[in-house]
Structure 1
Amino acid sequence: MTITPPPAETPPTARGRIRNYFLTGLIVAGPVAITFWLIWSFVTWVDDLLRPIFPVWMRPETYLPVQIPGLGLIFAFIALTLLGFLTANFIGRKFVDLGDAVLERMPIVRPLYRGLKQVFETLFSQSGSSFRKVGLIEFPAPGMWSIVFISTPPSPELNVVLPGEDEYISVFLPCTPNPTTGFFIYVKRKEVIELDVPVEDAAKLIMTAGMIQPTTDPAKAVATMAEQAKVARTARVTAPAK
């Protein structure tokens, strides 16, 4: 019996090597360049927004031949920190309450201010749990599972009208590849499978349509999610009907 050896790999041509080198350089330089561009754009935007506040004698470009970026960002950080420090005491709290009372009396400004305040308090609260957990729900059809970000429980007014006696929870189901759009859904808590996956990794998984898997252990993480979905599906099918 004659065993035919496998054909030797053809060495890449000069054109192929150049293509591989270019793609390697693009993979290395692309994320770095985009990251620095985003940071530079944000710093420049803050500087242009706050520069008119500074008098001419306080601007570094008045005394230097070049413009130093970041002054506006430093000023914004100091001002916000000082504002937080002042509002933490009794007198500052009274001024904040007075400002809230004035804005609450304005017919057009009131709903906008109230909504934005609730959003900021929810997003930046140290004790809040919104979008800090990742889960799976069976959507859009039986046997299909989608990643969701777990939000807060429904308000008492909504909880009263939701059918059944089960506990509900609100989730946000993002769309691919733009996770800022999606569906806001109230589902039963028992139908949500919580995952031990960081929110950042779940967002990358959604934005790349599955090309970038969770960084801890991609194969194990995907297998765990699939196994959890399978167990939940089996338990739902075998559960006795009420």
Structure 2
Amino acid sequence: MSAQHLPDPQTHHRRKGRFGGLRASFLTGLIVVAPVGLTLWLIWTVAGWVDSWVLPLVPHQWRPEQYIGINLRGIGVLIFLIFTVIVGWLAKGFFGRALIRTGESIVERMPVVRTIYSGLKQIAETVLSQGDDKFDRACMIEYPREGLKAIAFVSSTAKGEVAGFGSTEDPLISVFLPTTPNPTSGFLLFVPRSQITYLDMSVEEAAKLIISAGLVYPPTKAEKAEKAASAQARTAQPKSASRSTEAR
């Protein structure tokens, strides 16, 4: 092969560097755009799903598009929120409680409906209650065998018949072990308290770690303290500078 047909190494490196820069810029842009796009898509989808359930229940002459001329997505969500607040406000009163008791007494007489209603009510009261026993801490347990670790969420202390399988010194704790990357599904496990290691990370940070399949790790307590100290130092610098200016 003659010299005039040999590829120029400098041209090859420049082309490779140019494509490498474009690739790096694309990945950086993807990191910025993907979370924003997925968040907007999720909000848009959920709003449309709620609208499809709520708006058919609203009389046609009362729907907002009759007055503004366009169908705005999210109107059903707003109507649902207002309706839920009104129902909650009425349920706190005397007549609301009496009406709920009457309705529940009617439901209790229906064989199949009462089973479904009581189960859904118990789940709603457990998940939506404002108490302290509802996935308030993240923990580490051995699963699926000894030597392997998994992140779970502490639910509550076992009660009733299940509590009898534990001991007074080492009671059973019910924990929810979520799956990756969908944390809404998982396993209910009853683990002795001595085999549970509580974590310093919050439930939200543990959920991010599970959803990201171990790619997004929360900062440690030392890193959080260092970050807070640096932020406090940055805010203190302008104040000291202004004081020295005033002194002059």
Q: Give the TM bin, normalised by the shorter chain.
A: 0.7 to 0.9
Q: CA RMSD in A?
A: 2.2
**Are 1:91 and 2:95 an aligned pair?**
yes
In structure 1, distance between residues paired with 2:125 and 2:51 = 26
In structure 1, distance between residues paired with 2:177 and 2:46 = 28
In structure 2, distance between residues paired with 1:180 and 1:46 = 19
Aligned residues of 1:169 and 1:186 also touching (Cα < 8 A): yes
**Are 1:34 and 2:35 an aligned pair?**
no
Say which SS state the counterpart of residue 111 (structure 2) adopts.
Answer: coil
Counterpart in the other structure of 1:114: 118
Once the two structures are TM-superposed, the CA of residue 220 in structure 1 deviates from its matched residue by 6.0
For structure 2, list consecutive stretches of 5 or more residues without a partner in the other structure: 1-12, 225-248
Once the two structures are TM-superposed, the CA of residue 63 in structure 1 deviates from its matched residue by 3.7
Counterpart in the other structure of 1:52: 56
For these two proteins, the number of residue pairs brought into alignment is 210
Counterpart in the other structure of 1:4: none
Once the two structures are TM-superposed, the CA of residue 102 in structure 1 deviates from its matched residue by 1.4
Task: Name which of 204, 207, 217 aligns with 2:208.
Answer: 204
- Percentage of identical aligned residues: 41
In structure 2, distance between residues paired with 1:107 and 1:38 = 38
In structure 2, distance between residues paired with 1:80 and 1:107 = 28
Aligned residues of 1:135 and 1:195 also touching (Cα < 8 A): yes
In structure 1, distance between residues paired with 2:222 and 2:27 = 26
Q: Output the amino acid matched with 1:90.
A: F
Q: Output the amino acid matched with 2:101.
A: D
What is the TM-score with the length of structure 2 in the denominator?
0.77
Which residues in structure 2 correspond to 1:158-173 (within 5 Å)? Answer: 158-160=162-164, 162-165=165-168, 166-173=170-177
Task: Name which of 24, 27, 33 aligns with 2:28.
Answer: 24
Over 3 Å counting, the alpha-carbon distance change for 1:86 and 1:135 in structure 2 is same
Which protein has the larger Cα radius of gyration, Structure 1 or Structure 2?
2
Once the two structures are TM-superposed, the CA of residue 47 in structure 1 deviates from its matched residue by 1.9
Question: What's the CA shift string for 1:177-201, capped at 9, x where partnerless?
Answer: 3323332111111221111211111
Aligned residues of 2:172 and 2:193 also touching (Cα < 8 A): yes
Counterpart in the other structure of 1:183: 187
Aligned residues of 2:91 and 2:100 also touching (Cα < 8 A): yes
Once the two structures are TM-superposed, the CA of residue 141 in structure 1 deviates from its matched residue by 3.1
Q: Hey, which of these two has a bigger chunk of helix by percent?
A: 2
